[in-house]
Amino acid sequence: MTDVAWIDAALTSARPQAVGALLRYFRNLDTAEEAFQNACLRALKSWPQNGPPRDAAAWLIMVGRNAAIDEVRRANKQEELTDDTADLDDAEEEIAERLDGSHYRDDILRLLFICCHPDLPATQQIALALRIVSGLSVKQIARAFLVSEAAMEQRITRAKTRVAKAGVPFETPGAVERSERLAAVAAMIYLIFNEGYSASGETSDIRMPLCEEAIRLARLLLRLFRSEPEIMGLTALLLLQHARAAARFDANGELVLLEDQDRALWNQKLITEGVALIDKAMRHRRSGPYQVQAAVAALHSRAARPEDTDWAQIDLLYGALEVMQPSPVVTLNRAVAVSKVRGPEAALTMIEPLGGRLSSYFHYFGVRGAFLMQLGRNDEAREAFDRAIALANTSAEAAHIRMHLDRLMRDSQPESAALPKK
Amino acid sequence: MLYAILCYHDEDFVGSWTKEQDAAVMSKLAVVQDKLRKAGRLGPVARLLPTTAATTLRKDGPPVVLDGPYAETKEQLLGFYIIDCENLDAAVDVARELGAANPGGAYEIRPVGIFDPGARAK
């Protein structure tokens, strides 16, 4: 437990609580972060020799706070620095006692709420959360977002400046404000996940940590709000989606559609946890968009083969989601289920009115093309697929549509006149 | 005598392990388990999902279903072993061996009063 990798895990897991408590002391994000960094450096020096403390977070808070106070003193009076870590063992029990109680929850929540400050655009929210709460380095975050380190540094600095200007809220928010902010934190976590999930085959390896980080944050949030069905739903949704990670790309980095995935590669442990959470959530009978989406994902994960999928139930769930969160994208998803239950004709009718609003949406044309192809309307299908390729966000998406086009080409050529493939 | 070894650890810490770290711990534990299995001393073993997946039924008064684990503690019950040991010393030895493979946290060693392997036992 004393080599660097294990100390790293201990520092990572203690981070939200420690930075949250230090922020409460210093009321300044930069000071809190610096204090935590200092404490980590001391931990790396002290833990391998003295063994890890029983309560890593309490140790880091104490050492971080003392280090920061010393810094101030030194700056003020050039006073001599004493090493406080020596008599920490006595103090530790008492602090641990205090931490177990009241502050833990508020400290972490405050940290999460600050990252989701309404003045911050979403891109800054997630960058700030990954830096402050998760403790990823600027370099790691920049890499995951495929931007330069300098650009990411700037984004985070800007976010911090805005938060500082807006003033850090230290009072515990009231019930209404809290539930609003809770929704913002959930949305932020979902965005982090999607950043990782929407990666292409070439970038999925470097962006995958975003999915894992989002799951860690979701679990953290769920520990603070243990009976919030929507937070259970969010966590379940992320777990169930991430469970398919290993099956989503083939050896060439091409996207593999759900129905073509090798289900043996799905992570059963994550599926079990996701299904357990959605099960728990549904007992509350307070449905919400995350729960419904998680329920859809759970139905997919329960099907041993694609043909075992309960599409009728998925159609109903998307129908419920359309009511809660009307959006053309939801209707588009529902149409896929409808095509399985009632056929491509009904599905096509369903998405026809969406064309205007989704005129620059890759998936709309991909799905439309697929329905048209099933109906044998090959010319129109080809047209839709061409539009889809033009709108593809990743090379994997484009490659997938090209596969359909190739099939259309083959199908439309009379056998006698078969030409060598291009 | 049957003993339960109840595994307590900080689930945030365990959840912060990388896949490789997790796998390394599990394979070290498997070595100890295999030794016990070969000696016919290993009973059921379970690794529990995080406490976020837990539900508690309070039975004092009218039963109430609560989300979360029975107790909010710094370290959580994350799993257990049932092992057959000559005496407490032997059980502590096994716990030590498991502990060397997976340091941190604590093991509670509890003698088992009634044991029913259940219908799912192989």
Residues of B with Cβ-Cβ distance to A226 under 8 angstroms? 52, 67-68
Asked if the Cβ–Cβ distance from A100 to B55 is below 8 Å, we say no
Residues A94 and A124 in one domain: no
Q: What is the pLDDT at residue A50?
A: 85
A65-89 burial: b if 16+ Cβ within 10 Å, else e: bbbbebeeeeeeeeeeeeebbeebe
Distance CA A256, CA A175 (A): 44
Distance CA A235, CA A245 (A): 16
Q: Give the residue from A168, A186, A169, A260 showing the smallest Cα distance to A222.
A: A186
Question: How far A253 CA sits from the closest chain B CA (Å)?
Answer: 22
Q: What is the pLDDT at residue A97?
A: 45
Q: Which residues contact A274 (CB under 8 A, 6 or more apart)?
A: A235, A236, A237, A238, A239, A240, A243, A294, A297, A298, A301
Q: What is the pLDDT at residue A257?
A: 85
Distance CA A12, CA A3 (A): 14
ipTM (interface predicted TM): 0.90
Q: Is residue A412 a part of any domain in this protein?
A: no
What does pTM read for this prediction?
Answer: 0.87
Parallel, antiparallel, or unpaired for β B76-84 and B42-47?
A: antiparallel
Q: Is residue A20 a part of any domain in this protein?
A: yes
Q: Is residue A147 a part of any domain in this protein?
A: yes
Asked if the Cβ–Cβ distance from B17 to A220 is below 8 Å, we say no
Residues A73 and A8 in one domain: yes
- A13: tokens are 């897991």
- A311: tokens are 């599409």
Q: Is residue A164 a part of any domain in this protein?
A: yes
Q: Is residue A132 a part of any domain in this protein?
A: yes
Asked if the Cβ–Cβ distance from B13 to A10 is below 8 Å, we say yes
Distance CA A281, CA A292 (A): 10
- On whether any CB of chain B is under 8 Å from the CB of A276, the answer is yes
Q: Give the residue from A145, A232, A360, A26 showing the smallest Cα distance to B54.
A: A232
- On whether any CB of chain B is under 8 Å from the CB of A268, the answer is no
Closest CB to A100 among B51, B67, B74:
B74
Q: Specify the number of domains making up chain A.
A: 2
Mean pLDDT of chain B: 94
Q: What is the pLDDT of residues B62-91, one digit of tens each?
A: 999 999 999 988 899 999 999 999 999 999
Residues A134 and A49 in one domain: no
Domains of chain B plus CATH, in order, are 2-111 (3.30.70.1060)
Distances (CA, A) of B87 to A297, B1, B23, B26, B49: 49, 7, 31, 26, 30
- On whether any CB of chain B is under 8 Å from the CB of A19, the answer is no
Parallel, antiparallel, or unpaired for β B42-47 and B64-67?
A: unpaired
What does the pLDDT profile of chain A (422 residues) look like in tens digits? 457 888 988 999 999 999 999 998 888 889 999 999 999 999 999 999 888 888 899 999 999 999 888 887 887 775 555 555 545 544 555 555 455 456 788 889 889 988 998 889 999 999 999 999 999 999 989 988 888 999 999 999 999 999 888 876 666 677 788 888 899 999 999 999 998 888 777 777 778 889 999 999 999 999 999 999 999 999 999 999 999 999 998 888 888 889 899 999 999 999 999 999 999 999 999 999 999 999 999 999 999 999 999 999 999 999 999 999 999 999 999 999 999 999 999 999 999 999 889 999 999 999 999 999 999 999 999 999 999 999 987 777 888 899 889 988 887 665 444 444 44
3-state secondary structure of A223: helix
Parallel, antiparallel, or unpaired for β B64-67 and B76-84?
A: unpaired
Distance between first and last Cα of chain B: 21
Question: How far B119 CA sits from the closest chain A CA (Å)?
Answer: 21
Residues A86 and A39 in one domain: yes
Question: How far A22 CA sits from the closest chain B CA (Å)?
Answer: 19
Residues A99 and A9 in one domain: yes
Distances (CA, A) of B38 to A171, B24, B42, B84, B89: 59, 21, 8, 12, 20
- B36: tokens are 């016990």
Q: What is the pLDDT at residue A415?
A: 47
Task: Select from A208, A223, A227, A239 the residue whose CB has the most chain B CBs within 10 Å, as the one to mutate to test that interface.
Answer: A223
Residues A63 and A37 in one domain: yes
Residues of B with Cβ-Cβ distance to A13 under 8 angstroms? 10, 12-13, 15-16
Residues of A with Cβ-Cβ distance to B21 under 8 angstroms? 5-6, 9
Task: Select from B18, B21, B47, B74 the residue whose CB has the most chain A CBs within 10 Å, as the one to mutate to test that interface.
Answer: B74
Asked if the Cβ–Cβ distance from A1 to B50 is below 8 Å, we say no
- On whether any CB of chain A is under 8 Å from the CB of B52, the answer is yes
Residues A155 and A192 in one domain: yes
Q: Is residue A48 a part of any domain in this protein?
A: yes
H/E run at residue A217: helix A204-224
DSSP class of residue B61?
Answer: S
Asked if the Cβ–Cβ distance from B13 to A9 is below 8 Å, we say yes
- A101: tokens are 């109680």
- Tell me which residues of chain B, numbers 94 to 113, contact chain A at a CB-CB cutoff of 8 Å: 103-104
Residues of B with Cβ-Cβ distance to A55 under 8 angstroms? 74
Closest CB to B67 among A5, A227, A273:
A227
Q: How many CB pairs under 8 A join A and B?
A: 56
Q: What is the pLDDT at residue A72?
A: 77
Q: Give the residue from A328, A283, A293, A284 showing the smallest Cα distance to A314.
A: A293
* Residue after which a domain boundary falls, among A81, A113, A145: A113
- The boundaries of the domain holding residue A169 are 116-226
Q: What is the pLDDT at residue A117?
A: 87
Residues A15 and A98 in one domain: yes
**Sheet with strand B42-47: strands edge to edge:** B42-47, B76-84, B2-9, B106-111
Residues A47 and A23 in one domain: yes
Task: Select from B52, B55, B74 the residue whose CB has the most chain A CBs within 10 Å, as the one to mutate to test that interface.
Answer: B52
Amino acid symbol at A365: F
Rounded to 5 degrees, what are φ and ψ at B44?
-60, 145
Distance CA A259, CA B50 (A): 30
Q: What is the pLDDT at residue A177?
A: 80
Q: What is the pLDDT at residue A417?
A: 44
Q: What is the pLDDT of residues B14-43, one digit of tens each?
A: 988 988 999 999 999 999 999 999 999 999
Q: Give the residue from A291, A322, A306, A334 showing the smallest Cα distance to A186.
A: A291
* Residue after which a domain boundary falls, among A181, A204, A226: A226
Q: What is the pLDDT at residue A158?
A: 94
Q: Give the residue from B96, B108, B92, B93 showing the smallest Cα distance to B8.
A: B108
- On whether any CB of chain A is under 8 Å from the CB of B47, the answer is no
The answer to whether A39 and A64 have CB atoms below 8 angstroms apart is yes
A365-395 burial: b if 16+ Cβ within 10 Å, else e: bbbbbbbbbeeebbeebbebbebbbebbebe
- On whether any CB of chain A is under 8 Å from the CB of B58, the answer is no
Q: Which residues contact A113 (CB under 8 A, 6 or more apart)?
A: A169, A173, A181, A184, A185
Asked if the Cβ–Cβ distance from B15 to A227 is below 8 Å, we say no
Residue A271 backbone zone (phi > 0: left; psi -120 to 50: alpha; other: beta)? alpha
Distance CA B108, CA A309 (A): 44
Closest CB to B67 among A14, A216, A226:
A226
Question: How far B40 CA sits from the closest chain A CA (Å)?
Answer: 28
* Residue after which a domain boundary falls, among A67, A92, A113: A113
- Tell me which residues of chain A, numbers 229 to 248, contact chain B at a CB-CB cutoff of 8 Å: 232, 235
- On whether any CB of chain B is under 8 Å from the CB of A219, the answer is yes
DSSP class of residue A249?
Answer: B
Residues A30 and A48 in one domain: yes
Q: Is residue A217 a part of any domain in this protein?
A: yes
Q: Which residues contact A17 (CB under 8 A, 6 or more apart)?
A: A57, A61, A99, A104, A107, A108
Residues A150 and A221 in one domain: yes
Residues A120 and A109 in one domain: no
Distance between first and last Cα of chain A: 58
CA dihedral B26, B73, B97, B30 (to 10 degrees): -20
Q: Is residue A403 a part of any domain in this protein?
A: no
